[in-house]
Structure 1
Amino acid sequence: MAGTKFAYVKNFELPDPLLPGTYILLRLDGHGFHRLSQDHDFVKPNDERALQLMDHAARDIMHEFKDVVLAFGESDEYSFLFRKSTTLYNRREAKILTTVTSLFTSSYVLNWPRYFPNSSLKYCPSFDGRIVLYPSEKEVRDYFAWRQADTHINNLYNTTFWALVQQGGQTTTEAHATLRGTVSKEKHELLFSRFGVNYNTIPERYRKGSVLVREEVAGHEPSGTAESAPAEDKCATSGSGAEASEVRVEHTQGTKKSKKPKVQTHIQLYHCDVIEQAFWGARPYLLE
């Protein structure tokens, strides 16, 4: 089109650079997943297969974009934190948002048969996305604390709701009415007194969500094979929370001038607390 009389239309394409020196946080949400979960018979209140599929797609994002250092997932959403210094696509908002969203969606569809071998997709799932910029470490940490608190609140409600329906014989309308106006303590008591369920023993994946971290590893040789989570709790929280995950060791070579050694990293999946200081204190490089 260059050099023709039609080239003027390119002037309507406005630049959309993201503010430099800020943290880029990209969040994806499943579009119409309430219907999708019903039509594909997801297990209630939590479907392990669906959550593992989300983790797989998120891991693919982190393998493709090395500037994503942390991701957090719950239900049908995932949040990705980019290095503050990233210059990916010259920080063009539309380019980053559309590429990450489309790759996540395609990975979700491509890997569906791996997690749902007996349930073919009836139609195309989709995700919407947004980018938010945060000026300092405080807002970034508060963002992830907000998402993890939301995970707990939603899961406690859903766990109690489906216990009332599946074990208590209530209709969905009756279960909603039973829980209307209740606080956390009352839901805990209802679960334990009526169904013998201690909420604190429910798997951490459901209570705390999924945390994918780009871990720095010293002296690790690339193998391209799957590895188990280390015995020592590298998440540095009160919960163990580590889960076996696919490992690809990645290398970042320093320049000849700087003579910095290769930085080896792998992506580790945890289900642990990201609200307290311990998680962040063990990984200062995430917010550098």
Structure 2
Amino acid sequence: GSIFDQRPTVYEGSEQSLRSELNLFTLPPTDVSTKNSSEYVPSFPLTSVREGFAPLEFLLLAENSGYYDLSDSFLSLTCRIVKQNGEECGDTNIVAPSSNFFHAMFQNLEVYVNITLVSDSSNFYPSIAYIQRLLSANPIEKANALRDELWYPNDVPEKFTSADQGFKKRFELSQKSQQFTMLGKLCCNIFNQPRWFPSGTEIRIILKRSPPEFCLNSAVETLEPFSGCPYRVELNSAIFYSSRKTISQKILDMHRQKLASGDTCKYPMVDVDMRTFTVAKGLTSATNDGIVLGRIPKIIVIGVT
């Protein structure tokens, strides 16, 4: 008989299994499905990155025996901060990127797989990325790996002076319009799952830019003779490095046979949804019936501004 209790599975039709920590009487398996370690393939935007607020769009196409591992892929950005008219900033221009600037630069992320939209952050991308980094990264990661994404939070919110260590560090990296480079992984469901995409898969990534007043921190909101935010972000380089794996021929043949028979690839993903609503000042309780619709969420994070 089965060693498993009769209980519902996470995904309809999925098989029951043991945790690897409980496989006490077997040796760890040896992976023979790949021929070598990752090869990072650079992809460049389809349009010029210098075209103002034009979205960044990357097209990835896995060819031959290469499979894409999006969870191991990353984006490199090189940019600088200039005045609204394109002139370089001087000693008196106190402006810096916001914390988590790598993600704050973009207000929306869309990912298409074979022309089908599989991920859309609905203009909440900076907030989703900030919450995920804040809650999922440990202190060591925040003090090391996330520095490449410009994770330098303010000691005091909205305090944009050299007395604040977070703002001071971001200012030192970008002052006088000097270039700085960031490196990080995009935050979305398709990038957080471990399964690879087979050869012939077309993946399109579209990043829509945030307005400067959203992603830049300045001691002043206006500056003569400019109207609105007196500064802007000048993007000089953007390269997406996709992790490509070389697969053994037998695995390739097996996958092609399964696809030819009408079977489809399965990618279990955890969706992240963000909703906003307003509570009138002075109320001690509020009810909103539209917060949770359909599936019951695993985790709910509530933020108040």
Q: Given the two structures, how large is their TM-score scaled by the length of structure 2?
A: 0.27
Higher relative contact order (CA 8 A, sep 6+): 2
Compare the two structures and name the one with the higher strand fraction: 2
Which structure has the bigger radius of gyration?
2
Bigger helix share: 1
